[in-house]
Amino acid sequence: MKLSTHIYIAISLIVLILMLISSITIGVFTGNSMRKKVEQALSETAFHMADKMDQFMWSRSGELYTISALEPMKTLDNVDEITELLNRLKLQFPSFSWIGVTDVNGTVIAATDDILKGGDISQRPVYQQGIKGEYIGDVHEAVLLADLLPNPTGELMQFVDISFPLTDNSGNTIGVIAAHLSWEWAREVRATVLEPIDNDQIEIFVVSAVDGSVLLGDEAQIGKMYESDKSRFIEASSIADGYLNYNGLNWTIYVRQDKTTALSSVHYLQWVIWSIGAVLFIVFVLLGRYYGKAISKPLDTLIKALDQARFGEKPALPTHKGVLEIERLSETLHELFDALNINMATINTLENVVNTDNLTGISNRTGLKNYFDLTTRHYKQLSVLSIDLDGFKQINDQYGHEAGDFVLCEVAKRLQMTIRDHEIVARIGGDEFVVLLIPNETPLDIGSLVARRIIDVINKPFIFHSFSLQVGCSIGCSSWNEGETLKIAIQRSDEALYRAKSAGKNRFEN
């Protein structure tokens, strides 16, 4: 076989193998990165949905409990006044389909729009459980109210029950206040969560913790067992396990997206890579065939450089002078590796964008999670600080969002000044920040020390143009211990933050 043929075959095989390795490596890396990004986004959506549902239930149960503590509920003598209170609550919060007050025997003595007034609900769980104490029941179909409430759509009516016992001033149980929440509120929450994203491509399901049936989702699946299809969908989930003093009904929130849609950009990138690879392969085959004889002498050095690239090393490509054909081949190989390096640099840049808050330049929720996953491989405890600015809304309202953005950026800089290089500050919401510290003492002691430092630096004025702006901050401190999730640790620090807010703001609580 002629030397030119050897060169032609050798160059063809080397270029083909190089392009295969490069395209497969980039495709796999990009596919995994994009999949993780989609999974993270779906996880955040599931958590957001669960959190909103828990906050909604906490608010409605709190409103009913507040009504139960009013003076007319201590005697049940003034039925007209009680009815007016119930109707006013329903008018203010239309998600209450029905609210009623019973005597101690379960007879309805007052109700919104007088529905079921005089009726006996003593056999219903909302009374039987409510007479014993606070009761929040899972989703169920309408029974007594099915034919009494307006239902213009004709769809199946579903409710969530809330009830509390009523006691007189001596502490004796004298009745029950009960309410049915229309399950329509869950659809409204879902619409709110899906509004900022492409809701035609993402599905949300709410699944009962009791029997695994679908409570909210595709209409054809409601009432059936939820079936995961990970061969077709990318899926994430979160548990609605309560908010503050509301314990939650442990609904499982599933959020999923069709793989074809979610990874469409990856498929397109793979197609581009293969197309470029095919074009480059053809180009090099033709060059090898045409210039085979001319490049036979320096071929050994070129093959050696390509072999280095093949096994992941940075190739030292030689530059040949004197023979035009060899110079062109050498230059083309340089351009090929430069293009591959640019692609990898672009991928690294995209990964940095995913982990960084666009406004402040510090880490976002994704960056916080990645830092947590890496750090907890080496440490068994962390200090966790949840920070919320006090008075920030007034700055936005009085000076505009430009001033608000300026304050957020300056706050981010000051927070970074209070921690060490190997610790992290992340912005996870509008004016909400989380700090993770690596303690050399007990986590709460370190958290308290840094919290005082943060309050001091945040309280200093911010000079925006000719204005001196002032904000404070409330901080909740907690610790993360080995075996726990980041979500649990942040939930504890959020509870401490709530206590700090309630105690007067611009302070910290453990």
Annotated catalytic residues are 431
| CA 335 vs CA 67, 131, 296, 340: distances in Å | 75, 79, 21, 9
465: left (phi > 0), else alpha (psi -120 to 50), else beta?
left
* Cα 372 from Cα 379, distance rounded (Å): 10
171: left (phi > 0), else alpha (psi -120 to 50), else beta?
left
* Cα 169 from Cα 161, distance rounded (Å): 26
Tell me the two tokens of residue 404: 């608000």
Kindly list the strands in the beta sheet with 214-216, ordered across the sheet, starting from the edge strand earlier in the chain.
Answer: 214-216, 202-207, 251-258, 233-240
* Cα 272 from Cα 280, distance rounded (Å): 12
Give the residue carrying structure tokens 């590796």: 337
- Contact predicate 306/18, CB 8 Å: yes
Q: Which residues contact 341 (CB under 8 A, 6 or more apart)?
A: none
Q: DSSP label at 138? A: P
* Cα 446 from Cα 8, distance rounded (Å): 67
Strand 214-216 and strand 233-240: pairing? unpaired
Give the residue carrying structure tokens 């998600």: 95
Q: First-to-last CA distance in the chain?
A: 81
* Cα 418 from Cα 152, distance rounded (Å): 59
* Cα 426 from Cα 416, distance rounded (Å): 10
- Contact predicate 447/510, CB 8 Å: yes
